[in-house]
Chains A and B, each alone.
Chain A
Amino acid sequence: AQKVTQAQTEISVVEKEDVTLDCVYETRDTTYYLFWYKQPPSGELVFLIRRNSFDEQNEISGRYSWNFQKSTSSFNFTITASQVVDSAVYFCALSEAQRSQGNLIFGKGTKLSVKP
């Protein structure tokens, strides 16, 4: 069955530290998509990245980077030189092209607190 596991419930770091949020997924589909969303205190989920199962290239966007490894079914998210504004709940999500009709399956989220 499809599943997304974010083992870290809460992480607290001091500003300027690097932090990695872990995401492990389970799927039987060969075609699937992985996502990361950020939920600030305001509540709205903000889309960060989408990655399909055929593209294992790592991606960097400013201070954000993502490491996709099919061999370990992981899609980890690293924030370099964290800032207070990065404090939020981060969700990893999976979509299977066939089995779940494209619907997103979310992990339980990791709450990141960045202290000044």
Chain B
Amino acid sequence: DGGITQSPKYLFRKEGQNVTLSCEQNLNHDAMYWYRQDPGQGLRLIYYSQIVNDFQKGDIAEGYSVSREKKESFPLTVTSAQKNPTAFYLCASSIETVPYGYTFGSGTRLTVV
């Protein structure tokens, strides 16, 4: 079955460490997205990529980095520069930039300990 796989489901990070969240899709979608969800804040866009080897900053990109070396993969690195990284992170993809609806992964819950 086609879909988006995010791993791990739960992740714990010590302060000062970088950590990478995985996002893989087998839907042959061109566009991929990373959102951050905080309680009562809705979803906020971190980064997005419309094509391989290209990506754009979203509304809250500071402290994060991404790469898009393959169409299927869009990993997100939470760097030590991100001051408040504890949150729920959702990856999504869409067939093209004019959205027919995003397909979302099941999310990664990151906690700084």
Binding site for B on A (CB under 8 A): 9, 33, 35, 37, 42-47, 50, 91, 95, 97, 101-104, 106-109
Please tell me if B97 contacts chain A, counting CB pairs below 8 Å.
yes
Chain B contacts for A44, CB-based, 8 A:
104-107
Q: B17-25, B38-46, B63-71, B79-87: which lies at the A interface?
A: B38-46
Question: With A and B bound together, what is the CA distance between A44 and B48 in angstroms?
Answer: 18
Residues A50 and B42 in contact in the complex (CB < 8 Å), given A43-B88, A43-B107: no
Near A by CB (< 8 A), chain B positions 83-113 give: 88, 90, 92, 94, 96-107, 109
Q: Is the CB of B99 within 8 A of A102?
A: yes
Indicate the size class of the contact surface on chain B: 20 to 34
Interface of A: prevailing SS:
loop
Q: Is the CB of B107 within 8 A of A97?
A: no
Q: Is the CB of B41 within 8 A of A108?
A: yes
Interface of B: prevailing SS:
strand
Shortest B90–chain A CB gap in Å is: 7
Chain B contacts for A108, CB-based, 8 A:
40-42
Which 9 A-B residue pairings sit nearest by Cβ, starting from the closest? Answer: A108-B42, A102-B97, A45-B104, A43-B107, A106-B43, A47-B101, A44-B106, A106-B42, A95-B99
Q: Is the CB of B103 within 8 A of A47?
A: yes
Residues A102 and B104 in contact in the complex (CB < 8 Å), given A91-B42, A108-B40: no
**19 pairs from A and B in contact (CB 8 Å cutoff):** A35-B99, A42-B106, A43-B109, A44-B105, A44-B107, A45-B90, A45-B92, A45-B102, A47-B101, A50-B99, A91-B43, A95-B98, A101-B56, A102-B31, A102-B98, A104-B33, A106-B35, A106-B44, A107-B42
Please tell me if B58 contacts chain A, counting CB pairs below 8 Å.
yes
Considering the complex, give the chain A residue whose CB is closest to the CB of B43: A106
Chain B contacts for A107, CB-based, 8 A:
42
